């Protein structure tokens, strides 16, 4: 029902946010106070840590593995619904940070999770971004970033909306049927231009027979130009109206 262990990606996430602080020039890791004022060492290890404590990198790694195993035991004991690897990793990181005692056991997150309300859990994770600093409970930027990462990992294996059997989105939306070009304004303009051009040619052939042939040629030429302009304008308008 639950993964056996936290994944290497989950461990890397915890290491990133906890950080391996206070590595001395001697290669040993020194204890330090976290932003909440708790003495820590290794990657957020707090049990039995005191001021001036020093350990090796190998000891720090073992502290982390032991702490994560303890978090896993809490989750396996108190979470009664199946978990994916991503959900398990996110919860181990979460419990490692807030503790596996009253904070987690009385949380709304655990209640909703055990009801199978997986989609409401990321929001509950995000609520835990505060810590006491100088006696006051206030949001911490680092905790907000960590909660965001945990919420994202928890949601990573969630079912996508397209998997629930709902209506499918068409891959090729169909357009409305185009209007026939024969009925468009473009054809009217082309017709005017064509007729005027033909009449202009006829005026040239009647040069010797009609006294005003030159004047007619000028009129027909202007009509042809006007027809071409009308055709160009109408084509743009037809295209905008769906005429092809």
Residues labelled catalytic: 18, 34
Of 92, 90, 86, nearest to 71 by C-alpha is 92
Q: 208 exposed, middle or buried (CB, 10 Å; 0-12, 13-18, 19+)?
A: exposed
Q: 163 exposed, middle or buried (CB, 10 Å; 0-12, 13-18, 19+)?
A: exposed
Q: What angle do CA 37, 41, 44 make, to 5 degrees?
A: 70
Of 34, 28, 48, nearest to 97 by C-alpha is 34
Of 126, 75, 135, 132, nearest to 105 by C-alpha is 75
Assigned token pair, 6: 């936290």
- Residue 236 CA to its chain's centroid (Å): 39
Long-range contacts of 142-146 (CB under 8 A, 24+ apart): 142/17, 142/35, 143/97, 145/17, 146/17, 146/93, 146/97
Q: Check: CB of residue 6 under 8 Å from CB of residue 88.
A: yes
The SS3 of residue 97 is helix
């Amino acid at each position: 029902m639950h993964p056996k262990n936290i994944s290497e990606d989950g461990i890397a996430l915890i290491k990133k946010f906890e950080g391996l602080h206070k590595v001395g020039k001697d290669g040993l890791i020194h204890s330090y106070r976290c932003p909440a004022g708790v003495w820590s060492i290794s990657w957020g290890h707090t049990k039995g840590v005191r001021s001036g404590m020093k350990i090796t990198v190998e000891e720090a790694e073992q502290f982390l593995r032991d702490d994560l195993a303890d978090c896993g035991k809490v989750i396996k004991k108190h979470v009664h619904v199946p978990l994916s690897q991503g959900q398990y990793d996110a919860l181990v990181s979460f419990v490692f940070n807030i503790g596996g005692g009253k904070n987690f056991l009385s949380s709304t997150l655990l209640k909703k999770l055990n009801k199978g309300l997986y989609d409401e859990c990321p929001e509950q994770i995000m609520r835990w971004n505060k810590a006491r600093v100088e006696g006051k409970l206030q949001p911490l930027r680092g905790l907000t970033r960590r909660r965001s990462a945990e919420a994202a990992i928890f949601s990573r294996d969630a079912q996508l909306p397209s998997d629930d059997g709902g209506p499918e989105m068409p891959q090729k939306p169909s357009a409305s049927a185009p209007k026939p070009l024969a009925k468009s304004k473009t054809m009217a303009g082309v017709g005017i231009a064509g007729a005027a051009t033909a009449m202009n040619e006829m005026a040239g052939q009647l040069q010797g027979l009609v006294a005003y042939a030159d004047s007619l040629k000028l009129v027909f030429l202007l009509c042809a130009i006007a027809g071409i302009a009308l055709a160009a304008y109408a084509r743009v308008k037809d295209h905008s109206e769906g005429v092809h």
